[in-house]
Structure 1
Amino acid sequence: MRRISAPLAVVAVLLLGSACSRSPRVTFYTLTPATPAAAVQNTFSSAVAVGPVTIPELVNRPQLVVRVAPNRVAVLESHRWAEPLKNEIPRLLAQDLGPLLGSSRVYAYDQVSAAAAQYRVLVDIVRLESVPGESVTLGANWVVRGAGNARREGRAEIREQVTGSEYEAVAAAFSRALAALSAQITKSLLERR
């Protein structure tokens, strides 16, 4: 019996040791709205609803996804978005569009009903990728819908440099890319008037 109990004791010690080990620390990231360069006069009085926003399934997950080779990505288990990008991006675009339009009536689609908004901005993000230490790329198509069947379409491919080697720099570059997208959508909205 002693021969059997010795190996069992070793297994028990190993299991106990692995149960007491610490799991890797998880870091959470958020997107941040742009700081407007200058105050804009309140020129856009119509309500605007932003969304829904679609994103590629590749990045539609809690983990950060980074490109490590032309045909390979890494899903970073210990680096995660604080909330789903499908929820955070429309809210960020609305926060960026408001100051650019000089309006306090710009909302994410889940904050106002489509019927209450005179304009609706639908965004299809077709590319959202990052190469740490290099750049992020945002490719997007959008449609601005107004009263009746009025609509204006746009397309953008935006690249932002990642300034730093930490993943926080990747999140900051995504925020800048989304701010640049907001500036282009603003032009479409102002042309609709």
Structure 2
Amino acid sequence: MNKLTTLYRPFHLILASAIALGAGCSLVAPGEFYQLQAPAEASTSVHADLAVLLGPVKLADYLQREQILQRQPDGRLTASRNGRWAGNLEDEVGQLLLRQMAMRLGSSHVALYPDRVGVKAGAQIVLSISRLDSGEGEPAVLEAQWRLLDTDGEVRDSRVVTLQAAHEDQLASQVRAQSELLVQLSEQLAGAVRQLQDNSRKVAKAQPARGQENRQDSLPQERGIPMAEPLPELEVYRF
């Protein structure tokens, strides 16, 4: 009998420990999940003819995590206890920029790298975000570099960007401020694409004029020979 009691005692201890752990887990506050959101705006009346490939879009390594990071006054970064991103932040950033650029360009011909099926890009944007964070008492800050490539892969524009936005310290307000910074970035990217399109149109208009000049220069030389004038009538003198 004592042997049976000794054998069953570890089982009771394990069961009690499991119940205690379960009770402890139930006391943990559920996480709060956030997504980047941009305000809905009316589409522009300007329509871009260029198909645009957005990406690669690269986020800094420190942003590749589920927890929302908080910037401290001394520059440190700490993970929020409850605040988490609802999805992959890099994908969220890419999708927000994609929607905003499509709206601002008035075109659905915008694809997110590497999904380029059926898209023959006339322009490509390569984007690297080195900072996107905020904190209580610290503004939302976006630091990024982008390059605009033409259809031949040549760099037509490049810029280093630093943007800031204020917020009301609550985590939801911080996420809205970060979203607003990405909206501002999309405005800048769309403007660069429109400028590239305008320059391409100017070049296309100038090419026919140059071609016309070349055709005129290549006309047969004989067409430029002046016509011979008739000789004046000779006078005959008789002696």
TM-score interval for Structure 1 and Structure 2 normalised by the shorter chain: 0.7 to 0.9
What is aligned with 1:123? 127
Contact 1:67 1:130 survives alignment (8 Å): yes
Q: From the two aligned structures, give the one with the greater strand fraction.
A: 1
Give the secondary structure class of the aligned counterpart of 2:72: strand
- What's 2:20 paired with? 17
Residue aligning to 1:107: 111
Deviation at 1:162, TM superposition (A): 1.3
RMSD in angstroms over aligned alpha carbons? Answer: 2.6
**Cα distance, 1:113 vs structure 2:** 4.2
Match of 2:60 among 33, 38, 56: 56
In the alignment, what sits opposite 1:96?
100
Q: 1:92 to 1:77 in 2, by over 3 A?
A: same
Q: After the TM superposition, which residues 162-177 of structure 1 pair with which residues of structure 2 at under 5 Å, given as runs?
A: 162-163=167-168, 165-177=169-181
Cα deviation 1:21-53 (Å, max 9, x = unaligned): 3133011111113433x4312420221111111
Which digits, 9 at most, give the CA deviation of each residue in 1:51-81, with x for residues without a partner? Answer: 1111111111111011123242111252111
TM-score (norm. length: structure 1):
0.85
Note closer, same or farther for the CA distance 1:55–1:150 as it changes in structure 2 (3 Å cut): closer
Worse-matched range after superposition: 20-29 or 139-148: 20-29
The 5 A counterparts of 1:60-75 are 60-75=64-79
Counterpart check, 1:156 vs 2:146: no
Aligned residue for 2:36, secondary structure, equals: coil
More helix by share: 2
Range 76-85 or range 14-23, more displaced: 14-23
Secondary structure in 2 matching 1:19: helix
Per-residue CA distance 1:112-169 (angstroms, 9 max, x = gap):
2496222111111112121235420001110111121252112211101113x32111
- Give me the whole-angstrom Cα distance separating, in 2, the residues matched to 1:105 and 1:45: 8
Contact 1:43/1:102 (<8 A) preserved: yes
Partner of 1:30: 35
**1:13, distance to aligned residue in structure 2 (A):** 4.3
CA distance in 2, matches of 1:79, 1:132: 13
C-alpha separation between the residues in 1 aligned to 2:158 and 2:38?
Answer: 23
Amino acid at match of 2:157: R
Aligned length: 189
Query: Identity over aligned residues, as a percent?
Result: 23
Of residues 73, 76, 86, the one that matches 2:90 is 86
1: CA distance, partners of 2:30 / 2:65: 18
Unaligned 5+ residue runs, structure 1? none
The one-letter code sitting in structure 2 at the alignment partner of 1:65 is: L
Whether the 8 Å contact between 1:114 and 1:120 is mirrored in structure 2 is no
Instruction: Give the Cα separation in 2 of the matches to 1:98 and 1:15.
Output: 53
